[in-house]
Amino acid sequence: MEAVGILLLVAAVVFSAEGAACPVSIPYCYRKSTLKEEDFTCELEDRESTHGVKYILFIESRSFANAPPERVKFESRELIVHVPLEYVLTGTQSDIWVERQKDNINCSSNKTTVILKHLVKYSSPDIQKKVRSAGNLMLSWPKTEDNKGAIHEIRWKTINASWQNDTFETEDNKTDPWDSYRLPLQIHSVYQVQIRRKTKQYHIWSEWSNTVEVPVEIKAPVVHWRQEKKNGRRKVTLKWDVPPPEASSSGVTYNLTLNFPCKTKNKTTKETSYSLTAADSELRVSIIAINDVSTSPFQEIIIPPVQHLKRKYCWKCVYAYVCVCVCLCVCATDSRVKL
């Protein structure tokens, strides 16, 4: 009698697990371009732990209306399942579902009916170029893998404001690998921008791009300088004002060009000061500020010479007992000529 009771209890537990709602989602399948050789990717979601779980993805299709169904399956331990193109029928209706297996408990998601060739989901745009000038922002990003034009949605806003949206299309172009868009903006405001895209034939949007921070245009830096003699050498220190947060929120780089009488040096820094040791001659320094979206006009500083051409007289012993007066012509480029 006790054995019968235990058997009934086990049967009840198994039935309850089979009848419960399956924690795995309906598969979300797509390919990343319209290229004919592109394989499919199916994404799954699981509301429970995926440790020790095996997923079996089923795709069932009919080559024509009254034909028997053709079923293929793909096993995975991950929530992303790769589906090779050659194993599926893309131009006819297909039923797709997934079976979840863990220990001795199996369950299946609901089915979805699709035409696979219509499931194209582009990657999100990777905005790589940003140029802001005269109230306009020019954005550029690589085209899709199939090099096709696409329908795009762009949204933008100032900080703590609501999104504004617009849509536009780009054209097929086999010679230009970039898509671009010009967005009018208020000159003195910082913006955030995102873009997504989809094919012109099908309806699946890509994910939104990463949020792009758009500072205001950078102005030419206001530069101050001072010089001092230290250990007989001339030390020049340049300092310039920190740009306002609206222009520097994403960082600023400064390119310096140092023009000495006989050579030119280029330096790059993110600091707002720069020190150098120079001769007593004239020194010309130009500074350009660069932020994420613009380059400032160059600011040139002329540091005058300490002294002009002059003569010095000194005594030099040519031989052990013979001393002569030597006239030295000392150029301002180096006042430290030694005898």
Model pLDDT for residues 307-318, shown as the tens digit of each residue: 644 444 444 444
Give the range among 149-163, 215-229, 272-286, 319-333 with minimum mean pLDDT: 319-333
Whether 265 maps to a domain, the answer reads yes
Q: Examine the pLDDT at 87 and tell me if it is beyond 90.
A: yes
Residues 182 and 237 in one domain: no
**Which residue has better confidence, 196 or 160?**
196
**Which residue has better confidence, 232 or 163?**
163
Q: Which band of pLDDT confidence, cut at 50, 70 and 90, is reported for residue 65?
A: confident
Q: Which pLDDT does position 307 carry in this prediction?
A: 63
Amino acid letter, 339 = L
Report the pLDDT averaged over residues 30-54: 93
Residues 188 and 254 in one domain: no
Whether 17 maps to a domain, the answer reads no
Of 189, 214, 239, which marks where a domain is finished? 214
- Structural domain boundaries enclosing 168: 129-214
- Pairing type for strands 212-214 and 191-198 reads antiparallel
Sheet holding 40-43, edge to edge: 28-30, 40-43, 80-83
Give the range among 4-8, 68-72, 109-113, 320-324 with minimum mean pLDDT: 4-8
Whether 204 maps to a domain, the answer reads yes
Q: Which pLDDT does position 247 carry in this prediction?
A: 95
CATH for 134? 2.60.40.10
Residues 114 and 49 in one domain: yes
Whether 296 maps to a domain, the answer reads yes
Q: Which pLDDT does position 272 carry in this prediction?
A: 95
How many domains would you assign to the chain?
Answer: 4
Q: What confidence tens digit (pLDDT) does each residue in 239-265 have?
A: 999 999 999 988 999 999 999 888 899
Whether 15 maps to a domain, the answer reads no
**Which residue has better confidence, 53 or 319?**
53
Q: Which pLDDT does position 174 carry in this prediction?
A: 78
- Interatomic CA distance for residues 118 and 203, integer angstroms: 8
Angle, CA 77 vertex, CA 76 and CA 78 arms, to 5°: 90
Q: Which pLDDT does position 316 carry in this prediction?
A: 45
Average model confidence (pLDDT) for the chain? 85
Q: Which pLDDT does position 260 carry in this prediction?
A: 87
- Interatomic CA distance for residues 197 and 120, integer angstroms: 11
What's the pTM value of the predicted model, to 2 decimals?
Answer: 0.75
Q: What confidence tens digit (pLDDT) does each residue in 195-246 have?
A: 999 999 998 999 999 999 999 999 999 999 999 887 778 899 999 999 999 9
- Interatomic CA distance for residues 287 and 189, integer angstroms: 25
Structure tokens at 127: 């905005």
Q: Which pLDDT does position 20 carry in this prediction?
A: 52
CB atoms within 10 A of CB 139: 24
Contact of 92 with 61, CB cutoff 8 Å: yes
Q: Examine the pLDDT at 293 and tell me if it is beyond 80.
A: yes
- Interatomic CA distance for residues 231 and 242, integer angstroms: 31
Report the pLDDT averaged over residues 2-24: 49
For the chain, what percentages of helix, strand and coil (3-state, to nearest 5) are there? 10, 45, 45
Residues 38 and 110 in one domain: yes
Give the range among 32-41, 86-95, 322-331 with minimum mean pLDDT: 322-331
In the chain, % of residues over pLDDT 70 = 84
